[in-house]
């Protein structure tokens, strides 16, 4: 079997786009519904990346029932306003075009519900670069990054040895490792170098340009094996 690098999976939030304003405002909206005041939206940055339901439990200390209600409140604002309080990270369109021109197949693997991810990609003109977009389901299933990555591999018959996962949080790296997929942790989003290193990232890129450089090196290494 040819184990050359052929398939590249991208996280969405903090990797392709910067969703800080939308996510933090929508979390604040949800917390306000519970009578919880937020001193500053930046205090809600830890909510960017992980599955939302898990964050309301782990960060806020909500019960399972309250966490689900918080997700519902969050989506009230997110589906109409929040998802578009967002911006494409500079350099990403060029990186996607370059990788596509080099013959790589590109995919999105996000913990965000698929329906929202598809709308965001379309809104910012990125959907044409991707062969397949996978996220969680609105009912909360398939929200773990490991499940999303495995779903992309299974649905597209991709051997793990031919794939690469790119993301900005530990969940992306841990999910990739559990699926046997090589990973690049990026510092263009919301995870620190310490977080990504501790999670076991195979490579760490400090900028969008560095992502392309690392992929070129990985590809050469595959070719020389």
User: Sign of the C-alpha dihedral, residues 93, 96, 102, 105?
Assistant: negative
Dig out the tokens for 222 from the structure.
């595959």
Q: 185-225: per-residue pLDDT in tens?
A: 999 999 999 999 999 999 999 999 999 999 999 876 665 55
Collapsing DSSP states into helix, strand and coil, what is residue 179? coil
- Only one residue has tokens 């519900």, namely 113
Q: 93-122: per-residue pLDDT in tens?
A: 999 999 999 999 999 999 999 999 999 999
Residue 199, C-beta contacts closer than 8 angstroms, at least 6 positions apart? 170, 173, 174, 177, 185
Q: Which helix (H) or strand (E) holds 17?
A: strand 17-18
Q: Which domains does the chain have, with CATH numbers?
A: 7-18+87-223 (3.40.50.1000), 20-84 (1.10.150.240)
Residues acting as catalytic residues = 11
Whole-angstrom distance, CA of residue 114 vs CA of residue 120: 10
Looking at residue 158, what is its pLDDT? 98
Phi, psi of 118, deg, nearest 5: -65, -40
Question: pTM (2 decimals)?
Answer: 0.93
Phi, psi of 32, deg, nearest 5: -60, -35
């Amino acid at each position: 079997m040819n184990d050359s690098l052929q398939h590249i999976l991208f996280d969405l939030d903090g990797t392709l786009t910067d969703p800080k304003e939308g996510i933090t405002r929508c979390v604040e909206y949800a917390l306000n519904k519970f009578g919880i005041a937020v001193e500053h939206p930046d205090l809600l940055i830890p909510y960017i990346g992980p599955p939302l339901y898990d964050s309301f439990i782990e960060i806020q200390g909500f019960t399972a029932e309250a966490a689900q209600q918080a997700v519902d409140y969050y989506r009230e604002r997110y589906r109409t306003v929040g998802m578009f309080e967002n911006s494409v990270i500079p350099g990403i369109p060029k990186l996607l075009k370059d990788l596509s021109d080099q013959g790589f197949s590109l995919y999105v693997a996000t913990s965000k519900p698929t329906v929202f991810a598809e709308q965001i990609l379309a809104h910012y003109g990125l959907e044409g670069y991707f062969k397949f977009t996978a996220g969680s389901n609105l009912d909360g299933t398939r929200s773990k990054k490991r499940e999303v990555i495995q779903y992309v591999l299974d649905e597209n018959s991709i051997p793990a040895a031919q794939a690469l996962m790119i993301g900005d949080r530990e969940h992306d790296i841990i999910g990739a490792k559990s699926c046997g997929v090589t990973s690049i942790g990026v510092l263009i989003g919301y995870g620190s170098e310490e977080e990504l290193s501790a999670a076991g990232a195979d490579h760490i890129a400090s900028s969008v340009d560095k992502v392309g450089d690392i992929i070129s090196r990985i590809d050469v290494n595959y070719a020389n094996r």
